[in-house]
Structure 1
Amino acid sequence: MAELNQDLPPQVVAALQREQKIEAVKLLRELRGVGLKEAKDAVDNCPLERQVVDGAVVQPGGHGVFFWLLGLFVLGVVVAWLFGKF
């Protein structure tokens, strides 16, 4: 069961993100052919911070927003410098 918990299909993780626990259990049972108890235990033990991005499960902690803001700031400085506002 340990490997079942670590390798949840993206559809199951997506259902968990939508807070549809029963749907996640149903999907896991259909996709993996496991029993109700095994599926429920796997869903219950799934870390909530897992996310689905383009069909792949990734862990949070990225710094994407920070780099977007930094990039916009740098772009603004460059544009201001090019137009002589600096």
Structure 2
Amino acid sequence: MLEKNHEYIRYVLPKGRSFNELKQKDATLLMNYINSEARDSLNGHTPFELSQLLLDKELHKQLHLKAIKPDDVTLMPALLR
């Protein structure tokens, strides 16, 4: 799954673009979008859906984890502009 996450990160932050300017809110936004992308390896479910089954709700709150509606998931550079 890490390989796929890296691929998704590069959709938004293409090779050559610096990560130095990223703020925590940017990383959290990117994480929420990536984890809201359905995966074949999860039988069409999202990592976020799986995390709801396995992790404490308080952890979701503390890490600002939230689902993005499927139609709103966009993994392009414009996400962080």
TM-score of the superposition, structure 1-length normalised?
Answer: 0.26
Higher strand share: 1
Q: Greater Rg, structure 1 or structure 2? A: 1
Greater relative contact order, per chain length (Cα 8 Å cut-off, separation 6+)? 2
TM-score of the superposition, structure 2-length normalised?
Answer: 0.27
